[in-house]
Amino acid sequence: MSSPLPSSPAASASVLDLAPVVPVVVVDDLADAVPLARALVAGGLPAIEVTLRTPVALDAVRVIAAEVPDAVVGAGTVITARQVEEVVAAGARFLVSPGWTDTLLEAMRASGVPFLPGVSTTSEVVALLERGVREMKFFPAEAAGGTAYLKALAAPLPQARFCPTGGITPALAPEYLALPNVGCVGGSWMLPKDAVAGRDWERVEALAREAAGLSAGGTCR
């Protein structure tokens, strides 16, 4: 992600440095988007990835961008050039994909906002490095080899940095964050389904605060 983020609460040039955890959000009810985002931000997690997995996802990006100024809202599960255009127009400030092609990569690069293309193999990492991309999503993290795989990549490919996502829990997160090539992790454990269904935003905020305090070894930063 070579392009800097627009001015953000953390004044960071990289999504990987905004917080130790990027919440991966699935919005089923548009009415939940703003209070959910406010709870996450209040808990210390400003970078919010809204996945394009539901009919209201694009509108969720739009209302969060408009009504939660302290959030750095991004779009996840971006897999087409058209989606890139739509989410950036809606106000997305970063893009995340589960994988990549040259067509998708070119669209993300042309968007002018930071992006994390997904990888799960060494060859994909090398191919992105050849194209000047150094920050990536490692997905699906646990299924693709977890911390052992990323640790093995660190020595031969130290220039690559990752946001591992997929199967990561609060117990596993510190193990990932201890790795030199991991900037942050993605997860959804701070958004339990029963809390979202019950609109228990205080609980979401409390879980977000716990996640924001995670670091290598499980201690607060």
Q: How many residues does the chain have?
A: 221
Structure tokens at 58: 């694009």
> Radius of gyration (Cα) for the chain, nearest Å?
16
- Residue 213 is which amino acid? G
The answer to whether the peptide bond before residue 46 is cis (omega within 30 degrees of 0) is no
Catalytic annotation, residues: 49, 137
Structure tokens at 220: 């607060």
Sheet holding 161-164, edge to edge: 118-119, 135-138, 161-164
- Residue 97 is which amino acid? S
